[in-house]
Amino acid sequence: MLELRPNCECCDTDLPADSPDAVICSFECTFCRACAEQRLQGRCPNCAGQLQPRPTRVGTALVNNPAATQRKVKDHAACA
């Protein structure tokens, strides 16, 4: 099950479980769409994997399987 991390690892923008602006790599590194497009050119700075839209989780699925709460933020040099 996806962890659904709560923020962008570059700019620390909030990314709730239902956000259409969240993108992830195959390791679930999470970024906002703006950072993915403008800073990262669609590639994860951690693994060089392709960034894809993160599925959303809503309703009872979210209640029964809550999103993660631990925030992760990269060194800004890694997101440049």
Number of domains in the chain: 1
Q: Which domain holds residue 25?
A: 1-69
Residue 79's pLDDT band, with cuts at 50, 70 and 90, is confident
Q: Is residue 77 part of a domain?
A: no
pLDDT of residue 76: 67
Residue type, 2: L
Q: What is the pLDDT of residue 1?
A: 87
* Residue 60, phi-psi category: left (phi > 0), alpha (psi -120 to 50), beta (remainder): alpha
Do the domain assignments include residue 74? no
pTM of the model: 0.90
Q: Do 52 and 23 contact (CB within 8 A), yes or no?
A: yes
The answer to whether residue 28 sits within a structural domain is: yes
Residue 51 lies in a domain: yes
Q: Return the CATH number at 29.
A: 3.30.40
